[in-house]
Amino acid sequence: MIVPYHLLQASGSVIFAAQEVDILSFNTSMEHLSTWKYPVKATETPSELAADAEASATVEAPPTPEGPPTKRRRTENDEKEAQAGDAGTPNSTNGQKKGRFHNKPQPVNLSNEKPFINCLLATANGSHVIAATGSDKTIWVFEHDGSGNLKQLSQRAMPKRPCSLTLTTDQKTILSADKFGDVYALPLLPSAEPTLPPTVQSLPSRSATPASAPIPFKPQANDKTVHTKRNLKALENQKISMELSLKAAAEKSAEESQPAFEHTLLLGHVSMLTAITVAPGIGATGEKREWIITADRDEHVRVSRGIPQAYFIEGFCLGHEDFVSRLCVVPGREELLVSGGGDDDVFLWRWKEKQLLGRANILEEIKNTIEPELTKVAVSRLKGLSLASGETVVAVICEKIPAVVLFTLVEDTLKHTATYSLKEQGVPLDVELLPNDNLLVSIDTTEGKPDAAAPFLVLTRNGPDSWDQKPVVDVPAGETELNGEEMQKLLYTTESLRKMSDFD
């Protein structure tokens, strides 16, 4: 089976679509413009792989200008083995047993190791495109010439797998939220000079400590001001603790091989992060500020201040009772946030006040029109679309559900406008806005009727809540064939965020 187009990103009059590890560009009539291909090492053959299970876990890195100097990258399996660590590993995705060393060569589950684009975004002016690939944990930055051609500028392997990427409002800094729960800031364009404001403080990470030790603590009393024996003892201890703290810093920085490129730890959850977004607003002094909003597998939506105060938590938008997988700041109404995940509802928040404005029941909408027997949904896409008509639409896709559910923002509520059934076509993977308020939907045709197979559909609105559909057939088919199981694992990862453990 050929991998469908699973991520869409419009940028001006160009549409980017990710297909496995490649990025294709199209014009707004969905004519193919250009393709960027992931640089894969050509010599890997399955037999070689089987011969050495350890080595097969290797994704040979193409030359990395600013990546770590190691040839062998840690891949997902290593990570899972090392795992005390994962901030919360979904239960079902990992069939592998723990254990660092395999005595015998073992058949390798290739799909576990395949790099796969899991994030795709573009700068506001379209000058750059950013992607993240899973398993090799790499963030890619491309220069975009405005006509769909991408030139790779950088490739940075992160300490942990990025789960969601966003940009600061000035478009100069990438924020990467990872599987381990940490958020890193990276300059969009790595350069000799740091582009992050010097005031940005890198927090020592849970697993690593920055090379530069913090300013050592000075005992706040000296031998003279301390009178009692006990105080003297305590003072001694404070001096010891200063040394210990420096020792801890030194030891850790020696131990950890940190990526060589500039990256700054901003904040972290002790939970797998699933989504990150940046919302603009006005600060206490009346100046323009921004906030970083992060969502995790443990139902939290956290609002932190933007750089350089990302260490300060403003609060939490709490109310979800299952994992949160997607966030979107409402375009044109940036004080509003929509969040969705494993709950029946998507939530509408006034994020700065942490106030829940309303909930919209997705499950009911889908049961009404698509699948009456459905018992749960897992939101896999949530996109706020600013239509030329002036309307603001939130498009929701739930994993493996053949429908796109549309809500319109009416004042401070989400009003359900349409549940667009794709039962005949297949399962939608992503949705994006085209000119003339048309919607582009990418489809997993293997989940639908193969005869009607078209990788894209264009939905044209012909009434308040009625849409015409036009399949886009003439597009390049991907080259990689995957079996059904592999494909499922790569494309459908949201439902696996749901907790099902019942142990202590």
Partner 1 sequence: MAAKKNKKQKREDYRAAMKQDDVLTMPRKKFYRQRAHANPFSDHQLVYPPHPDQMDWSTLYPAYVAQEESQPEATPSSTTEDLSAPVKVKKLTQDVEVADIGCGFGGLLIALAPVMPQTLVLGLEIRVSVTQFVEDRIKVLRRQNEESKAYQNVSVLRANTMKFLPNFFRQGQLSKIFICFPDPHFKARKHKQRIVSTTLNSEYAYAVRPGGVVYTITDVPDLHGWMVQHFEAHPMFERVGVEEQEGDPCVEIMRNATEEGKKVERNKGEKFVALFRRLEDPVF
Q: Is the dihedral of CA 30, 36, 40, 43 positive or negative?
A: positive
Of residues 300 and 400, the one with the C-beta less far from partner 1:
300
Cα–Cα dist 204/211, whole Å: 9
Least separation in angstroms between residue 297's CB and partner 1 is: 9
Q: What is the total count of residues that contact partner 1 (CB under 8 A)?
A: 82
Are 484 and 1 in contact by the 8 Å Cβ rule? The answer is yes
359 near partner 1, rule: CB under 8 A: yes
Least separation in angstroms between residue 444's CB and partner 1 is: 29
Task: Report 90-109 residues binding partner 1 (CB under 8 A).
Answer: 91
User: What does R_g of the chain's alpha carbons equal in angstroms?
Assistant: 24
231 near partner 1, rule: CB under 8 A: yes
Cα–Cα dist 477/468, whole Å: 24
Please pick, from the candidates 43, 225, 375, 462, the single residue that binds partner 1 as defined by CB under 8 A. 225
488 near partner 1, rule: CB under 8 A: no
499 near partner 1, rule: CB under 8 A: yes
Of residues 39 and 214, the one with the C-beta less far from partner 1:
214
- Side chain identity, residue 429: L
Of residues 311 and 484, the one with the C-beta less far from partner 1:
311
75 near partner 1, rule: CB under 8 A: no
* Residue 468 burial by Cβ neighbours in a 10 Å radius (0-12, 13-18, 19+): exposed
Of residues 305 and 383, the one with the C-beta less far from partner 1:
305
Please pick, from the candidates 66, 243, 465, 481, the single residue that binds partner 1 as defined by CB under 8 A. 243
Of residues 65 and 315, the one with the C-beta less far from partner 1:
315
Cα–Cα dist 335/291, whole Å: 11
Beta strand spans in 439-488 (E): 439-444, 456-463, 466-472
Please pick, from the candidates 22, 298, 399, 486, the single residue that binds partner 1 as defined by CB under 8 A. 298
Least separation in angstroms between residue 397's CB and partner 1 is: 24
88 near partner 1, rule: CB under 8 A: yes
Task: Report 257-286 residues binding partner 1 (CB under 8 A).
Answer: 265, 267-271, 283-285
Are 324 and 299 in contact by the 8 Å Cβ rule? The answer is yes
Of residues 203 and 452, the one with the C-beta less far from partner 1:
203
363 near partner 1, rule: CB under 8 A: no
53 near partner 1, rule: CB under 8 A: no
Of residues 14 and 266, the one with the C-beta less far from partner 1:
266
> Mapping DSSP to helix (H, G, I), strand (E, B) and coil, where does residue 94 land?
coil
Task: Report 301-320 residues binding partner 1 (CB under 8 A).
Answer: 302, 304-305, 309, 311-313, 315-316, 318-320
Q: Compute φ and ψ for 132, nearest 5 degrees.
A: -125, 140
300 near partner 1, rule: CB under 8 A: yes
226 near partner 1, rule: CB under 8 A: yes
Cα–Cα dist 7/326, whole Å: 14
235 near partner 1, rule: CB under 8 A: yes
192 near partner 1, rule: CB under 8 A: no
Of residues 215 and 477, the one with the C-beta less far from partner 1:
215
Q: What is the DSSP string of 308-368?
A: T-TT-EEEE----SS-EEEEEEPTT-TTEEEEEESSSEEEEEETTTTEEEEEEEHHHHHHH
b/e code 233-259 from CB counts within 10 Å (16+ = b): eebeeeeeeeeeeeeebeebbeeeeeb
221 near partner 1, rule: CB under 8 A: yes
124 near partner 1, rule: CB under 8 A: no
Least separation in angstroms between residue 417's CB and partner 1 is: 15
Cα–Cα dist 343/337, whole Å: 16
Choose among 202, 215, 208: nearest CA to 248: 208
* Residue 226 burial by Cβ neighbours in a 10 Å radius (0-12, 13-18, 19+): middle
Least separation in angstroms between residue 283's CB and partner 1 is: 5
- Side chain identity, residue 401: I
Are 3 and 478 in contact by the 8 Å Cβ rule? The answer is yes
Please pick, from the candidates 203, 260, 363, 374, the single residue that binds partner 1 as defined by CB under 8 A. 203
229 near partner 1, rule: CB under 8 A: no
Cα–Cα dist 179/161, whole Å: 6
Least separation in angstroms between residue 338's CB and partner 1 is: 15
Task: Report 386-445 residues binding partner 1 (CB under 8 A).
Answer: 413
Task: Report 435-454 residues binding partner 1 (CB under 8 A).
Answer: none
